[in-house]
Structures are given as structure tokens and as C-alpha cells.
Amino acid sequence: MMIPVLLGATILCFVLVDIPNDPVQDRVFEIEQSTGEPVPQSTIDALEATWYYDRSIPERYWIWLTGVGDTNDDIGLIQGEWGPSIEGTAMPIGDEVSDRFWITLRLVLFATIASIGIAILAGVVSAVKQYSRVDYTLTFLGFLFLAMPIFWLGQLFKEGAVQLNKILGSTVFQTYGSGTTGFQGNGWAVFVDSLPYLIVPTLVLMLGGYAAISRYQRASMLEVMNSDYVRLARAKGVRNGTVMRRHALRTALIPVATFAPLSLSAAMGGAMVTERIFGWRGLGVYSLDAINAGDTFAVMAYVLISGIVVLIGVLISDILYGVLDPRIRFE
């Protein structure tokens, strides 16, 4: 079921991104501007051939997907080739994407897990202390972060971290880049090196994403707390903490599992913004540059990867359903 959805998404994106863009013409215009002479037809033909613009959109999609036919051996997704980038052969899409993927995934995963965690915490506290001052404060904060654009929050936190570093005379919060420039080492060393760079962007994405889930968590927790079986558990003398953890929270988490993939896809979108602000060389920024350049194959690489990430999120949330809800059995 996931493969057709992914194929449909790539077809739709391919058509929508490809139709309005004509990188060949843009490049021809650029050359004309720099040399001041009309571009010979042979150059145009060569450009069209390298970028596969000498064929129609359906043909181009087909060759992007399968690589079957008359190619330069650099295209065909199922053969592991991402297609030519208009940035030239110095920046092949495959290498760029695989370098950047882990940088972005690190940020998105941390942010999603943190935002779901804090959402559950805030939602449960609000529900348990319903109509108290804590509840009102948390609810208002939730509304506030829901209304806050991520790019503004990001700018604010970035500048705030810079000021804090200045005052403390430290470099705890790194605010530019995703890791020390030119840092070499094995996987773990790279990860440790990147931690100071991760703190602020993760915080931004977390605060931008948690509010919606925490609203649902509060509502579902309230509903469960008023249900008969929780009252029964109380009546037979189970301690309050145990009732909350074992009886109420477990059921109240079920609706939240629905929102996990939503928050993952929101974090992917938010990563585009935070990467731009914090100067990361991640996938999000790559896709933004590709959009600006009209680089269809590069945009498609992003669409495909983010689609797969989101679909895996859906899969995980389905599995979580089964874990959380004893009524669901996977055959």
C-alpha cells in the first residue's frame, strides 16, 4: 500500500515541479548574459541531452524512475541513480543527499521524540490538574507556541543563544552549522561533536511542534479519567499513581499515536526552516536551493526521502497502536 502512494506522490510532484521550470532556457540565458553572444544550437542540444530535457515529461519521469532506455548511466532510481543535478557533476545528487540525510534525520528525530515526550507530559499534567492554575498556564503556553511561526522562534532563540554565550563567555550553544567545520572522526565522535550544535535547533522544533499533540493528550486523558474502568480501579483501592500510569495513561496514549506521523512530517517541514536559519548543510536547505534553481531531479530526491520518512512514521504509529491498544491484534 505504501509503494503506490509513494509513486503517486512522486508523479504529482514531478509534474508540478517540472512544468513551470526550464533550466535549459535559464542556463542559455545565463550564458548569453555572460558572453554577450547568442548560444549555438549545439550547446543547447548538449544541455538538453545531459539533463534529459530532450524528451517529454512522462518520458522523463519514466527514465527517472527506471533508467530504462537511452541514458548516460546517471539516472534511474531503481538502479540506484538519482539523475543529473543542474549544479553539474561536481555535486551529484546521490552523494549530496546521503551526506545530508543523517544531519537532517538527527535533528528531525530528536525534535519529534522530544516534542511528543513534552506533549504527553504537558497534556497529562494539565488533565490531572484540570482547571487549576497549572492547567491554564500550560494551555495558554500551548496556544502561544501553536501561534508562533518557527522561523521567528528560530531567529529569536539563535540570537538569544548568541547573547547567552557572550554573557557566559562559553560556547555551549553553537548557533551556526551542524558540526565543527572539517571535523574528522568515526560516527560516534562526529555525533558527540554535533551535540552542541543540535541543542538550540532541536529546542526550536520541539516547541514549534508539541502544542497540537498536547491538546489532544489533555482531551483524551480527561475522557479516560472520567471513564468507568478508571473509577473501578480507584474503587477497588489501587493507588492513585498506579491508576494513572497503568490504567489511564495507557489508553489515553492511543489517540496520540495517530499524531506521531503528523508531527514527524511537520518536523521535516520545520527542519527546512531551522536549517536555513542555523546555517546547516542539511536536506531541507538542499531542497530549498534545488527549488530556487529549478533542479527537478534534486527536488524529487528530497520528495522521495521525506515521503519515505513520513511513511515509516505512519508504520511505526500503526505498530504503536497494537502495543498500546490490547483490542487490536495484527493477523
> Given the rule CB under 8 A, which residues bind another protein?
4-6, 8-9, 12-13, 16-17, 20-21, 131, 143-144, 146-152, 155-156, 158-160, 162-163, 226, 265, 268-269, 272-273, 276, 287-288, 291-292, 294, 299, 302-303, 306-307, 310-311
Q: What is the full DSSP assignment across 51-88?
A: TTTTS-HHHHHHHHHH--SS--SS--GGGT-----TT-
Tracing cell 551542524 back to the chain, one arrives at 178
- Compute the least distance from the CB of residue 223 to another protein, in Å: 12
- Compute the least distance from the CB of residue 44 to another protein, in Å: 20
Minimum CB distance to another protein smaller for 49 or for 270: 270
Minimum CB distance to another protein smaller for 27 or for 276: 276
Q: In one letter, which amino acid is 49?
A: A
Q: In one letter, which amino acid is 217?
A: Q
Cα–Cα dist 219/123, whole Å: 8
- Compute the least distance from the CB of residue 305 to another protein, in Å: 10
CB environment 16-30: b (16+ within 10 A), e (fewer)? ebbeebebbeebbee
Minimum CB distance to another protein smaller for 177 or for 190: 177
- Compute the least distance from the CB of residue 159 to another protein, in Å: 4
Burial class (CB in 10 A: 0-12, 13-18, 19+), 304: middle
Minimum CB distance to another protein smaller for 71 or for 165: 165
Cα–Cα dist 78/64, whole Å: 9
Alpha helices (runs of H) in the chain, residue ranges in sequence order: 2-18, 23-35, 41-50, 57-66, 93-128, 133-147, 150-168, 187-225, 228-235, 240-242, 250-278, 283-293, 296-324
- Are 296 and 21 spatial neighbours (Cβ–Cβ below 8 Å)? yes
Minimum CB distance to another protein smaller for 190 or for 291: 291
Cα–Cα dist 298/94, whole Å: 9
Minimum CB distance to another protein smaller for 57 or for 68: 57
Minimum CB distance to another protein smaller for 134 or for 146: 146
- Compute the least distance from the CB of residue 184 to another protein, in Å: 30
- Are 315 and 300 spatial neighbours (Cβ–Cβ below 8 Å)? no
- Are 270 and 150 spatial neighbours (Cβ–Cβ below 8 Å)? yes
Cell of 92: 551529484
- Compute the least distance from the CB of residue 26 to another protein, in Å: 11
- Compute the least distance from the CB of residue 325 to another protein, in Å: 19
Minimum CB distance to another protein smaller for 200 or for 310: 310
- Compute the least distance from the CB of residue 25 to another protein, in Å: 11
